[in-house]
Amino acid sequence: MTLAEKILAAHAGKKKVQPGEFLDVPVDLVMTTDATGLISLQQFQKMGARKVFDPKKVVLVMDHFVPSRDVDSAETVKALREFAREQGVHFFDVGRAGIVHVLLPEKGLVLPGDVAVGGDSHTCTYGALGAFATGMGSTDIAFAMAFGRTWMRVPESLRLIYHGLPGPWVGGKDLILHTITQIGVEGANYQAMEFGGQAVAALEMDDRFTMANMAIEAGAKAGLFQVDDKTRAYLKDRARKSHPEYSADPGAPYARTVEFDVTSLEPQVAFPHSPGNSRGVSRAQGVFIDQAVIGSCTNGWLGDLRAAARVLKGRQVHPGVRCIVIPGSQEIYLRAMKEGLLETFVRAGAAVSTPTCGPCPGAHMGVIGAGERCISTTNRNFIGRMGSPRGEVYLANPAVVAASAVAGQIVHPREVAEK
């Protein structure tokens, strides 16, 4: 069996499963946020549920519209806060939280071998830890909260092998943008993307989280990495319970295998209006920008902030550009502060925000207007994603975004940082 099949079979109590088979799967974690959680709460009550199946396995994270941007968002958070207090579930609010897909791995709430479901499409982020994690609709999340189970059709698996080692200024964001462009935004529809190869083994955890996060942008059900020493090191002081580690069997059947040589891959830039519309940064240079955003569940990790600070240190954001930096969690914010990264950003003329999804879904903290261009480390650049449908969003890694903020136009990081 493949890695995804191994995890699902173990949870369903079966020796073997195969693609297309329907399973009744116990879950290890159910998550929702202020973006969709109110609908789940309403459905939970509508079905007559009284108690969640296990308070220790249900998590509510306030991240999309916080600090509350308006009365509606304040009322939503209030309702979820009261539900969490009543049920005794995990609840993460302003000042103690962060963006959900950064926060949950950080808190050790998702572990290798887990099945995790969340009311957000980028729940697949946790696959970087060797978990089967997937996003679901609000009604399915309500059912899982009440019963601790969900139905699932076993997905086919797509094996992605990355040969060689990435060059300077190239990381997980570039690998996944290149992958989505090559296989298409429907190239992994309802499949489990399984990442491997020399380049993947060399990636740090921050980059793996980025790749798993964007599996959904190719239509995938999940994106998974094999557990290795880097995974174990990340979990060393986070995991509070034992957990199994699964691996794919040699000769396991995959829907297909796609191989890449990333030795000469340059930093990628996804042009509007799709993550599958990327090209090398050398073919994007000269596109003038109005805003640069560094952060989100995709690239709000500490390694991302370090990469951006390396470019911005001792330099100034272009006077015609607004640069916004959003750490992925309170812990990352604090560590960035201790390392002097936040001072670097502020001295460069960037605004540093409390952890929030904010501008990524066009909620607040950096919405763009008609005719404006934004280069961002976020995961989606659909029409109207970050504000006006007449605005444009370009996706890139943190170093490219930082360099572009300085230059006022999209450039290769070496054009700024190596001069």
**Residue 331: what pLDDT?**
97
pLDDT at 50: 96
Question: What pLDDT does 178 receive?
Answer: 98
pLDDT at residue 418, rounded to an integer? 87
The Cα-based distances of 241 to 7, 127, 244, 290 in angstroms read: 17, 18, 10, 47
pTM of structure? 0.97
pLDDT confidence of residue 73: 95
**φ and ψ at 63, to 5 degrees?**
-145, -25
pLDDT at 135: 98
- DSSP states of 81-134 as a string? HHHHHHHT-EEE-TTT-B-HHHHHHHTT-S-TT-EEEESSGGGGGGGGGT-EEE
Q: Name 160's bridge partners.
A: 195, 258
Please enumerate in sequence order all residues whose Cβ is within 8 A of that of 376, keeping only pairs 6 or more positions apart, or say none. Answer: 291, 292, 293, 294, 296, 359, 360, 386, 393, 394, 395, 396, 401
The answer to whether the bond into 168 is cis (omega within 30° of 0) is no
Strands 58-61 and 29-33: parallel
- Give the pLDDT of residue 230: 98
The pLDDT, as a whole number, for residue 99 is 98
d(CA 97, CA 93): 5
Question: What domains appear along the chain, each with residue ranges and CATH number?
Answer: 3-239+256-260 (3.30.499.10), 270-417 (3.30.499.10)
- Three-state SS at 156: strand
* Residue spans of the chain under pLDDT 50: none
| pLDDT the model gives residue 53 | 98
